[in-house]
Structure 1
Amino acid sequence: MQITLGPLLFFWPKKEVVTFYEKVAESSIDRVYLGEVVCSKRRELKLDDWLNIAKMLQAKGKEVVLSTLTLIEAESELSQVSKVCENGEFAVEANDMAAVHYLSKAGIPFITGPSVNLYSAEALQVLHRTGLKRWVLPVELSFDHLKMIMSRLKELGIHDLETEVFSYGYLPLAYSARCFTARTHELSKDSCEFSCIKSSAGIPLATQEGDALFTINGIQTLSGSCHNILDQWQVMESAGVKGMRLSGHSGDILKTAEEFAEAMGSGSSGKYIMGCNGYWVGEAGINHR
């Protein structure tokens, strides 16, 4: 089972990002996804900066994947996606069907992120024919649904498609043309003044009763509490899952990765603070089970 680190969803200053990935390079994480997936206005790091980080991580033995934008609204953003797809050195995770189209048309093997709505083995079969080599389970699907898909893949004769599961972090739930963080600061999206950089872990949104509901991150809506199914690694492994994705919201993610690596090394399920894991058991995602 590989420990993977998903793309950084929050907007951090360039210096903090570089320092963070220098620490990742010395961690037990096997595969790292890099790049801006939320908002094209977050330009602290350019593509060349991400490529430099990728090369540094690769030199430390990490497998590196470049991730594309999730919501594309303009030609300039489509151009940004095409440049990532054309990098020529690192594999690409497509987070939008535009990137899937570009990569498949170019004959470049690719990965799909959790935002690409693949809910059946038949859908995976279609993309597998055009170059899909790994997919990340959409966060709203349950383990039972995953087992059904993987059983059907075997029936279809597909045995070389890797499966990865989003296993720790704030769940990416939705994307909007509007920027909620800018609105919080009474700014328009076009004149946001890069408000997201003031909220390194997003803005918590609670119910009227004070319970955690959502986390606002620019145009992205995340779960209000941290999703955590790391203790499920053994059942995932037995089902054929090859990678478990951690999503960082602070430097503490590295401590979590090390504890998880130790738990797997000892063959134990580990001890973790329970997070919102309702989707995994077929219930409302906000539930803690």
Structure 2
Amino acid sequence: MKTSLGPLQYCWSKEKVNQFYQQVAESSIPVVYLGETVCSRRRQLKFADYLALAHMLRESGKEVILSTLALLEAPSEYTELKKQVSNGEFIIEANDMGAVQAAKELGLPFVCGPTINNYNLATLKKLHQWGMQRFVMPIELSKSWLNHVIEAEVTATGAPLPFEIEVFAHGYIPLAHSARCFTAKQQNLPKDNCQTVCLSHAKGLLAQTQDQQPLLRLNGIQTQSASQIDLSSEIAQMKQMGVNYFRVSPSSLKSVALAESILTSKPKTEPLTCNGYWHQTAGLVHI
């Protein structure tokens, strides 16, 4: 099993993004996802900037995958998506079925991201026919579901799954995406003229209950978990099941060191983490 570093989910300055990926280039992390997945109005980096970072990371020995938006809202965004898909050098992580269709039309391989609803083996095998090389398990599914899918394929064909498996295993969980932007709304700004207020919230906005208990994290049009998922204690079992990649979703510059060491260091019980989905219960629970 290898570590993968998921795409940045937050709006950071171009300088900070470049600093982050320079650290990634100098690390031993083998697989890196790169690109804007949340909001097309975050324009600190253009597609050409992401391509330049992808070249730099590839030259440092990384496998680079270009991640696409999870929610397409305008024809211009689909035009930009097709540019990403047909870049000619790097495969994409499709986070929307529009990206799957664009890759399928060009006969290009792709990774299926965690925001695509893959809930059964039949769907996964159809996507594999269309070019899917790897799928990231939807975050609300469990190890029991994954075991069932793996065993069903072995029972039916006598062979393992014909595609790779990746699990979103550490970081703030992307729970939902909306056409509306709470981050702009709470500043009384319209979404179309949001002044990129996400730049002021490097880890999103924490929403609490009336009892001051952490509930959710609001990141532009994206709603995340308040706590970070941490499946580091499940690494041995994941390897036994046949999981190929343990994804770390970055939230700060410290995420590079964490991703670099998580497969080799002894798992630690951290406060404010959750793993409920993996154990087939409420996601915010820590077991």
TM-score normalised by structure 2 residue count: 0.96
Give the secondary structure class of the aligned counterpart of 2:45.
coil
Q: Where does residue 84 of structure 2 map in the other structure?
A: 84
Name structure 1 gaps, 5 residues minimum. 264-268
Aligned sequence identity (%): 44
Which stretches of structure 1, 4 residues or more, deviate above 2 A after TM superposition? 153-160
2:270 to 256, 268, 273: 273
- Asked whether the 8 Å contact 2:118–2:137 carries over to 1, the reply is yes
- Asked whether the 8 Å contact 1:66–1:93 carries over to 2, the reply is yes
Q: Tell me how far apart the structure 2 counterparts of residues 239 and 262 of structure 1 sit (CA, whole Å).
A: 18
Superposition deviation, residue 140 in structure 1: 0.2
Letter in 2 for 1:229: L
Q: Tell me how far apart the structure 2 counterparts of residues 52 and 191 of structure 1 sit (CA, whole Å).
A: 28
Give the secondary structure class of the aligned counterpart of 1:262.
coil
Give the secondary structure class of the aligned counterpart of 1:171.
strand
Q: Tell me how far apart the structure 2 counterparts of residues 184 and 76 of structure 1 sit (CA, whole Å).
A: 27
Name structure 2 gaps, 5 residues minimum. none
Superposition deviation, residue 271 in structure 1: 1.8
Q: Tell me how far apart the structure 2 counterparts of residues 111 and 281 of structure 1 sit (CA, whole Å).
A: 25
Q: Tell me how far apart the structure 1 counterparts of residues 91 and 171 of structure 2 sit (CA, whole Å).
A: 23
In the alignment of these two chains, the number of paired residues is: 284
Q: Name the CA shift for 1:276/1:60 in 2 (closer, same or farther; >3 Å).
A: same
TM-score normalised by structure 1 residue count: 0.96
Q: Tell me how far apart the structure 2 counterparts of residues 7 and 153 of structure 1 sit (CA, whole Å).
A: 30
**1:21-100 superposed matches below 5 A:** 21-100=21-100
Q: Where does residue 211 of structure 2 map in the other structure?
A: 209
- Asked whether the 8 Å contact 1:35–1:66 carries over to 2, the reply is yes
Give the secondary structure class of the aligned counterpart of 1:226.
strand
Q: Name the CA shift for 1:156/1:45 in 2 (closer, same or farther; >3 Å).
A: farther
Superposition deviation, residue 56 in structure 1: 0.6
- Asked whether the 8 Å contact 2:167–2:245 carries over to 1, the reply is yes
* 1:26-85 deviation line (CA, Å, top 9, x unaligned): 112110000000000111111110011011111111100001111001000101111110
Q: Where does residue 124 of structure 1 map in the other structure?
A: 124
Q: Tell me how far apart the structure 2 counterparts of residues 7 and 196 of structure 1 sit (CA, whole Å).
A: 16
Superposition deviation, residue 171 in structure 1: 0.2
- Asked whether the 8 Å contact 2:3–2:260 carries over to 1, the reply is no
